[in-house]
Structure 1
């Protein structure tokens, strides 16, 4: 049976030529780099900013942003106002990744000034996704139409990113220990035309990858918990049994021991993957031998790949694949060869963060951010779906199957709406962060 690892971890396979459409000013970033040596160098460039040590140093900033998010939830809970979790998760993820990248407070959670950023990022993703899957359109100058339609919001974002980089550059070594500091230590030129440098394109990719994917994982988890009461109760019990206070919920052994929390997050990303489409691959141009995948000889120049959404809903890998079952990710007492083989097949097919050397470099950061935000929410609040039509937002509607499935729009990453939830504070625990938002 075909495993995605046969494709995405093969030494004789490289990224497809379609990734070239995302290259600007002849400068690659870690996402667009097709050459393996160049990709390795790019990965080495951003790696130090995403190590466990770097995450520990950044954690106070992340927790500060999560506290702002919790205060927003508290404010809504005091009036019974339903909360759109896609919106909250999107702004939280953006503020965190900007702080991680440049030590810069984007403040989308508390002010409207920079809330245009998700729309600006979506424009680039829409266009790139079309070029990625319908390559010939990129040769027809259709992008000029996109540029004209979205010029204002795109240029507004570019000016913001340029301002952010220049502001951070002016701080030099005295600034925060952030992504920028790691990049500049590698002698990347931050002066001159900012928009043509390595730093610009790595930063742009970090903002996209670090915000959209985490926001989708967080929103999806809240959606499935709100519609699966037994799973909700089980996770609530785990969080409130392991931790003795909200301040304890941070990176460390206790958070790592929340196995059902991790299972819920993984099951949510299986059901609604943050990057649901196909990441195209082709035979490495330097490889001269016939390429065989799953018993099929792949003609040279042919693009191939696996849709994360499709394989995550393939019954051969994930039985009862349209049901939310976090238990499938937990260890079982059965050690039969059949059971172990089935579990290996399942893990091999889980591609929420892609696979191999091209997998998501920020995987650990994404899990930490998502786990902390969800665990803290469940510590301080109870919640349920909003009543009426608002409570149905995010679920399948007419023309789209799966009323119990969180609906995604594939734009390379995803766009989504909902779920709308109503929160209730637990006693006086909210006094931990009783300060104005």
Structure 2
């Protein structure tokens, strides 16, 4: 009947289409605002009506949506609806985080979140709880604690190379070093050695390969677009580089990185096809580990493997480099805390002919506090992480969150919860080291690596790198100085680009290693 009514009207098809679209969008907005199961939750009506609100703050305002969410929590309380499908929780006492990011309960991810990276065939990008368990179980053995301890000599070898580069830089009188880029060369060489069984040798680069740092930043920044428009990724991948370079020069670096990893996987797949399965050696790379696992064949395809490689390398590079950068800054900015760390390292090393082992360093309370504070104030990722309890209603105070609702929470909110971390913006290693249990109970509220069944698989390796690097740098070098530093400009979090970013005017954390202030040789700790 509607068809005959419409066909009898003397209107143009274009006008008719416009009218239908208006009716559709009006109906959608009415449903989202008044009929949706989430309509009972407080928050901005505009944000509840359309994702364009989030797009404006994420893309146009360049990573400001996380800060807007914190404003809403101050206005509306601990539970806020932040878009048509999702609520965000600022956990008052820190316990609800462990309900959402549970270790044993079924928790899916939100496809709106995972699709932005174009790595849906990986553990990180998996929506389904059950499929994630299959993919995670295949990779777990590669990251077990015993593997980390066996890898310690390789980390130390890379640290020795870092110290050589610092000495060269100092002797050549090249001035202050850009520490985030320098540390990222270290962390990249470590993670590529660990995951690929050969180092990309960024520490050998005379300029410390700043293009690699830009690649990771551009990958993160690109996610602000692809979260809203996930179809952009396959389009860009299908275009020639010259066209992509014209549209977005930085994106070419991302595509080159993906191809480099894909070529590695192709070589390994070809090697496996030629080799007698009975003669295969123990897994040498993450790809060998996955191929040797009991996952079904469809999970061992080229696309699955190279995507997993990209995620592992991306997660193990800049995030760890940022922790090292900020920890270095805070120690140099707080001489009394730096002195406590140096005294502890010196006392522990007394009468020892060899460097303190990783296990020995892990037992030092103040060093542990320094590392945990560096992790807390660098957040891991600043963007919100999302989980879905597909069959379970979750309750917070007097609010019931319906099953199937995407629930997001943020490290920024957790790590600046003043009830848990008083004076939360200060760098205070004593909040850990002065606890009777060494801060073990407080670590429950540290979510730099997330929590639960999807906690970052590389947490053990990252902590080992950070502990060994901080111990090495601050044992070897006695005379380090921050150069041309302003906290608000160069350090303070100003943009959530998935990874934490300072202001656009930032010159980075720059450190001068003075010629008259070296300690022991590069073998120390």
Deviation at 1:206, TM superposition (A): 0.4
> Aligned residue pairs: how many?
405
Inter-CA distance 361–257: structure 2 relative to 1 (3 Å threshold)? same
Alignment correspondent of 2:218: 123
Partner SS, residue 260 of structure 1: helix
1:250 pairs with one of 357, 364, 375: 357
Mapped to 1, the partners of 2:522 and 2:114 lie a distance apart of: 52
Alignment correspondent of 1:203: 309
Q: Does residue 488 of structure 2 align to residue 396 of structure 1?
A: yes
The equivalences for 1:33-432 within 5 A come to 33-80=126-173, 81-111=175-205, 116-132=211-227, 137-138=228-229, 141=232, 148-149=247-248, 150-168=250-268, 173=280, 177-186=284-293, 195-196=302-303, 198-244=304-350, 247-252=354-359, 254-284=360-390, 287=391, 290-300=393-403, 302-332=405-435, 344=441, 346-387=442-483, 389=484, 391-392=485-486, 395-397=487-489, 406-407=492-493, 409-415=495-501, 418-424=508-514, 429-430=520-521
Name stretches of at least 5 consecutive residues in structure 2 with no aligned partner. Answer: 1-92, 238-243, 273-279
Deviation at 1:212, TM superposition (A): 2.0
Mapped to 1, the partners of 2:297 and 2:472 lie a distance apart of: 38
Conserved? CA contact 2:265–2:302, under 8 Å: no
Inter-CA distance 386–123: structure 2 relative to 1 (3 Å threshold)? closer
Deviations 1:109-158 (A, max 9, x none): 112696533333333322334555xxxx2268598579641442223212
Inter-CA distance 426–257: structure 2 relative to 1 (3 Å threshold)? farther
Partner SS, residue 204 of structure 2: coil
| Superposed structure 1 runs of 4+ greater than 6 Å apart | 187-191
Conserved? CA contact 1:353–1:359, under 8 Å: yes
Mapped to 1, the partners of 2:289 and 2:307 lie a distance apart of: 15
Conserved? CA contact 2:327–2:370, under 8 Å: yes
Inter-CA distance 58–129: structure 2 relative to 1 (3 Å threshold)? farther
Mapped to 1, the partners of 2:145 and 2:204 lie a distance apart of: 29
Partner SS, residue 108 of structure 2: strand
Q: Which has the larger radius of gyration?
A: 2
Partner SS, residue 305 of structure 1: strand
Inter-CA distance 347–102: structure 2 relative to 1 (3 Å threshold)? closer
Inter-CA distance 330–102: structure 2 relative to 1 (3 Å threshold)? same
Conserved? CA contact 2:101–2:451, under 8 Å: yes
Partner SS, residue 385 of structure 2: coil
Conserved? CA contact 2:187–2:321, under 8 Å: yes
Deviation at 1:67, TM superposition (A): 1.1
Alignment correspondent of 2:276: none
TM-score of the pair, normalised by structure 2: 0.69
Conserved? CA contact 2:109–2:129, under 8 Å: no
Partner SS, residue 500 of structure 2: strand
Mapped to 1, the partners of 2:433 and 2:101 lie a distance apart of: 25
Conserved? CA contact 2:117–2:223, under 8 Å: no
Mapped to 1, the partners of 2:290 and 2:106 lie a distance apart of: 30
Deviation at 1:313, TM superposition (A): 1.2
**Higher-RCO chain (CA-CA 8 Å, sequence separation at least 6):** 1
Mapped to 1, the partners of 2:523 and 2:431 lie a distance apart of: 35
Name stretches of at least 5 consecutive residues in structure 1 with no aligned partner. Answer: 398-402
Mapped to 1, the partners of 2:129 and 2:386 lie a distance apart of: 15
Deviation at 1:188, TM superposition (A): 7.0
Deviation at 1:106, TM superposition (A): 0.7
- Cα-Cα RMSD: 3.3
TM-score of the pair, normalised by structure 1: 0.81
Conserved? CA contact 2:283–2:289, under 8 Å: no
Conserved? CA contact 1:249–1:375, under 8 Å: no
